[in-house]
Amino acid sequence: MVNSFLEANWGYDANRMWQVQAILKTQVDGVSKVIVLIGDKTGKEKPAVLSFFSLPDGQHIITGDSIIAFGEHPFAAARQTLEAQANGPYRGAASKDLEFVEFADFQCPHCKEAQANMDKLATDYPKARIVFQPFPIPSIHPEAMTAADYGHCVNKLGGSTAFFQYASAVFDGQEGLATPDGATLTLNSAVTKAGLDPVKVSACAAAPDVKADVEASIKLGTDLGVNEVPMLMVNGRQVPANAPYETLKKIIDYQIKADGITP
């Protein structure tokens, strides 16, 4: 089970080596401590030791300060949840056989940088369904929630095509979100570029059900362990959306193979 779990997480990296050193019982019934030696075939990295605790349910482990899914197919449950609940605007295929779900914050600079990767993925994986789920972090980005509300309404009134036009314009003009007045101008301009009426979108964005939908998207990400953005979930597997593109592609190709999907 441990080796299968490590293979699912690290198998994409041909240079990664590991050996399970010990699985030790602890004073807590059903909790085991797992010790793994990690190495690198190139010899460039110094060997390291990873330890984590497997929980009694056999489905989760504690590593550092995080609880993550464990088992032979650690991403399966998250994949099912996303198939059922990731209802944001999408581009690409209607099928959910290969689903990329991006959690992002419109005011986050790293999310802006990640859009180049997302556009490449849309070209390189035409059979993928690429979903955008808002994950604003207003404690850091004060205008991100409003931008997400507007985006939800653009999708509601104009559909996915209008949404991605809006999203592109907001990310391009992200510096304008630095102040409330600047945000109003930036968002209204983005709405106009998406072919919609800013007055209607602003009114829609003030509705309680819109705010509730954006909060539900945040909760979805949080429940799945998203704690930073931009985060891409590839059939349930978390990968930073702003990772180097070749690394991102390598992980995706590995996951496609693991899930038995025809590219």
Give the closest residue to 253 by CA, choosing from 167, 133, 125: 125
Domain residue limits, the chain: 2-74, 77-258
User: How do residues 84-125 score in pLDDT, each as one tens digit?
Assistant: 999 999 999 999 999 999 999 999 999 999 999 999 999 999
Cα distance between residue 151 and residue 171, in whole Å:
12
Residues of the chain with pLDDT under 50: none
Look at residue 42 in the predicted model and tell me its pLDDT.
87
Phi, psi of 73 (to 5 degrees): -125, 75
Look at residue 43 in the predicted model and tell me its pLDDT.
81
Sole residue written with tokens 């939800």? 152
Look at residue 201 in the predicted model and tell me its pLDDT.
98
Task: Report whether CATH 2.40.30.10 matches the domain 77-258.
Answer: no
pTM of the model: 0.94
Q: Strands of 48-54's sheet, edge to edge?
A: 16-25, 32-40, 48-54, 60-63, 66-69
Phi, psi of 123 (to 5 degrees): -80, -45
User: How do residues 115-144 score in pLDDT, each as one tens digit?
Assistant: 999 999 999 999 999 999 999 999 999 999
Look at residue 119 in the predicted model and tell me its pLDDT.
98
Look at residue 14 in the predicted model and tell me its pLDDT.
93
